């Protein structure tokens, strides 16, 4: 019976981690539904971005208040989780504060002391976050794309943090031997008096309960990630790595189109010739994107990475002037549809069965797509290097090249370019007239 807690602990730990691993596998499978992207270029710049933008949060702090608070929560969370290492060792081997038997008391005390201070800072920041979301009602958290689940998701994670931090402090406060050590109990010494007069046994029970809830809470939190925008704490890193490294104004040239244009422009090409050998087993090209499978793996990764912070939408000129477009919604729709496709695959033994739906139309409307000025404000604003504009562009391409569904005025403009080499119906021979006016 002596080893019962150890065994239970091991089971909980393994269960928590394997469920997480299962979901990570699903995540990777879903992302792989998109087409591959070659990101072997600009390696040093990519790493620089990871260090500055993901690790260093250089884009977060562009908005000083939320940026500063976010840095605290981020640093706090990462550092406090070092403590989890001790908890896991203690849990498996039935030890108590293994760190104390390895490190000198002063070092251990210093470590736990800094964790406690961070825990308090995290608590304060999280409470301010909650107030910003729920009481001050900052505009970017009030968008119509942030109703229902996305809204509760934002709050749930804050509650999680509050509970985990409080548990950590209570655990320390009720650990009498730790309190007696009088090192490292920087914050918990002020909580300890609340438990004065409790019997030794009760204190022990409270300490154990807090300890168990803390580690179970962390495992639940880990598994909650997959279902939440908080996946960004893991995916921000790869997403920043794969983010755009060329000038923002540079849009990709579709290779499939290049091949066809070359064929059309080449006077020697035989239009009736059989396609070249190499092209034979290539999938027939679909121009642009109408569903998630037409997007790239980076775009799908981004959909899972989006933190729904709305920094993109709050800078979007279309959104600011009351139009339907919200780049945040573009990312959220992409993720929702991708999840739907993933579930469809799970339900049909690993194969996608046509469900009569797609990203275009069922999630994102033409009206949203046509409202975009391609100004790149959303891309600039995103703290985790997401490019919502690239998805908008791929869908516009589908609308125009596969469905000829551009607004009428744009069709006129394009016909003019085709016929006169200008968006207006003027004669190319008049191109130099400005000279003599």
Partner 1 sequence: MSEQLKVPTMAEMMAEGKQPEILFWVGSAGSYDDRAKKITRAFVKILNKANVNFAVLGTEESNTGDVAKRAGNEFLFQMQAVMNIEVLNGYEVKRIVTCDPHSYNCIKNEYPGLGGNYEVIHHTQFIKDLLSSGRLKLEGNTYKGKRITFHDPCYLGRGNGVYDAPRDVLKKTNATLVEMKRHKSTALCCGAGGAQMFKDAEPGDKEVNVLRTEDALETQPQIIATGCPYCNTMMTDGVKFKEKEADIKVLDIAELIADA
| Binding test (CB under 8 A) with partner 1, winner from 7, 85, 92, 320 | 320
Asked if residue 294 binds partner 1 (CB under 8 A), the reply is no
**Alpha helices (H) along 174-199:** 176-181, 188-191
Binding positions for partner 1, 31-60, rule CB under 8 A: none
Asked if residue 140 binds partner 1 (CB under 8 A), the reply is no
Query: Beta-carbon neighbour count of residue 223 at 10 Å?
Result: 16
Q: Give the contacts of 67 (CB within 8 A, at least 6 positions apart).
A: 57, 60, 61
| Angstrom distance (rounded) from CA 140 to CA 152 | 15
- Report what 306 binds from ligand SF4, partner 1, none; CB cut-off 5-8 Å by kind: ligand SF4
Q: At what angle do helices 4-31 and 327-347 cross, to 10 degrees?
A: 110
Binding positions for ligand SF4, 178-237, rule CB under 6 A: none
| Binding test (CB under 8 A) with partner 1, winner from 26, 35, 97, 323 | 323
Instruction: Return the ∠ at Cα 28 (arms to 26 and 30), rounded to 5°.
Output: 70
214/328 with CB nearer ligand SF4? 328
Choices 5-13, 119-127, 342-350, 404-412; region in contact with partner 1 by CB under 8 A: 404-412
* Paired tokens of 274: 């059989």
| Binding test (CB under 6 A) with ligand SF4, winner from 378, 391, 393, 399 | 378
Half-sphere exposure at residue 391, Cβ-oriented, CA atoms within 13 angstroms = 36
Binding positions for partner 1, 258-277, rule CB under 8 A: 258, 260-262, 264-265
| Angstrom distance (rounded) from CA 299 to CA 35 | 10
Choices 96-104, 129-137, 161-169, 424-432; region in contact with partner 1 by CB under 8 A: 424-432
Q: Mask: binding to ligand SF4, 303-342, rule CB under 6 A, as x and -?
A: ---xxxxxxx--xxxx------x-xx--x-----------
87/332 with CB nearer ligand SF4? 332
Q: How far is the CB of 121 from partner 1 (least distance, A)?
A: 29
| Angstrom distance (rounded) from CA 218 to CA 168 | 11
Q: Across-strand partners of 364?
A: 360
178-182 long-range contacts, CB within 8 A, separation 24+? 178/97, 178/112, 181/105, 181/109
* Paired tokens of 190: 């002020």
- Report what 378 binds from partner 1, ligand SF4, none; CB cut-off 5-8 Å by kind: ligand SF4
Q: By C-alpha distance, which of 394, 370, 390 is closest to 382?
A: 390
Choices 83-91, 124-132, 156-164, 387-395; region in contact with ligand SF4 by CB under 6 A: 387-395
- Report what 370 binds from ligand SF4, partner 1, none; CB cut-off 5-8 Å by kind: partner 1
Q: Give the contacts of 421 (CB within 8 A, at least 6 positions apart).
A: 428
* Paired tokens of 91: 């849990």
Q: How far is the CB of 237 from ligand SF4 (least distance, A)?
A: 14
| Binding test (CB under 8 A) with partner 1, winner from 133, 248, 286, 357 | 248
Size of the residue set binding partner 1 (CB under 8 A): 68
Choices 109-117, 165-173, 301-309, 368-376; region in contact with partner 1 by CB under 8 A: 368-376
| Residue for token pair 């807090």 | 210
Query: How many whole angstroms from its chain centre is CA 75?
Result: 18
167/392 with CB nearer ligand SF4? 392
Q: What is the dihedral of CA 276, 279, 283, 289, to 10 degrees?
A: -100
Cβ atoms of residues 268 and 303 within 8 Å: no
Asked if residue 243 binds ligand SF4 (CB under 6 A), the reply is no
Cβ atoms of residues 388 and 378 within 8 Å: yes
Asked if residue 138 binds ligand SF4 (CB under 6 A), the reply is no
- Report what 312 binds from partner 1, ligand SF4, none; CB cut-off 5-8 Å by kind: ligand SF4
196/409 with CB nearer partner 1? 409
* Paired tokens of 214: 């803390």
Residues that bind partner 1 (CB under 8 A): 246-251, 253-254, 257-258, 260-262, 264-265, 287-288, 315, 317-318, 320-325, 367, 370-377, 379-381, 393, 396-401, 406-407, 409-410, 412-414, 417-418, 421-424, 426, 428-435, 437
């Amino acid at each position: 019976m002596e080893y019962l807690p150890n065994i239970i602990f091991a089971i909980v730990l393994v269960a928590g981690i394997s469920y997480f691993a299962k979901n990570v596998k699903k995540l990777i499978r879903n992302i792989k539904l998109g087409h591959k992207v070659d990101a072997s270029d600009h390696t040093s710049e990519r790493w620089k971005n990871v260090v500055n933008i993901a690790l260093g949060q250089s884009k977060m702090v562009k908005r000083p208040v939320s940026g500063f608070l976010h840095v605290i929560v981020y640093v706090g969370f990462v550092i406090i989780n070092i403590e989890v290492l001790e908890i896991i060792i203690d849990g498996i081997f039935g030890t108590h504060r293994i760190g104390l038997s390895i490190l000198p008391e002063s070092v251990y005390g210093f470590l736990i002391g800094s964790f406690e201070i961070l825990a308090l800072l995290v608590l304060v920041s999280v409470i301010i976050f909650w107030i910003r979301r729920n009481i001050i009602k900052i505009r970017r958290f009030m968008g119509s794309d942030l109703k229902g689940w996305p809204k509760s998701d934002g709050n749930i994670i804050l509650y999680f943090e509050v509970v985990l931090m409080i548990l950590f402090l209570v655990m320390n406060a009720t650990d009498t031997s730790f309190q007696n050590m009088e090192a490292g109990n920087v914050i918990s010494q002020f909580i300890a008096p609340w438990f004065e007069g409790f019997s030794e046994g009760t204190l022990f029970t409270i300490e154990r309960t807090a300890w168990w809830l803390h580690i179970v809470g962390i495992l639940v939190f880990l598994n909650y990630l997959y279902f939440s925008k908080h996946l960004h704490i893991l995916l921000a890193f790869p997403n920043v790595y794969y983010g755009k490294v060329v000038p923002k104004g540079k849009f990709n040239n579709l290779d499939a189109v290049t091949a066809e244009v070359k064929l059309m422009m080449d006077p020697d090409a035989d239009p009736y010739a059989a396609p070249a050998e190499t092209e034979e087993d290539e999938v027939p090209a679909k121009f642009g994107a109408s569903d998630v499978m037409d997007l790239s793996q980076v775009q799908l990764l981004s959909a899972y990475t989006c933190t729904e912070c709305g920094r993109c939408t709050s800078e979007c000129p279309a959104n600011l002037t009351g139009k339907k477009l919200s780049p945040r919604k573009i990312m959220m729709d992409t993720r929702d549809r991708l999840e739907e496709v993933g579930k469809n695959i799970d339900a049909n033994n690993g194969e996608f069965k046509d469900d009569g739906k797609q990203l275009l139309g069922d999630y994102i409307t033409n009206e949203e797509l046509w409202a975009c000025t391609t100004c790149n404000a959303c891309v600039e604003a995103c703290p985790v290097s997401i490019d919502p504009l690239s998805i908008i562009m791929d869908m516009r391409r589908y609308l125009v090249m596969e469905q000829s569904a551009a607004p009428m005025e744009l069709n006129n403009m394009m016909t003019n370019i085709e016929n006169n080499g200008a968006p207006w119906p003027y004669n190319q021979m008049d191109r130099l007239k400005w000279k003599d006016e």
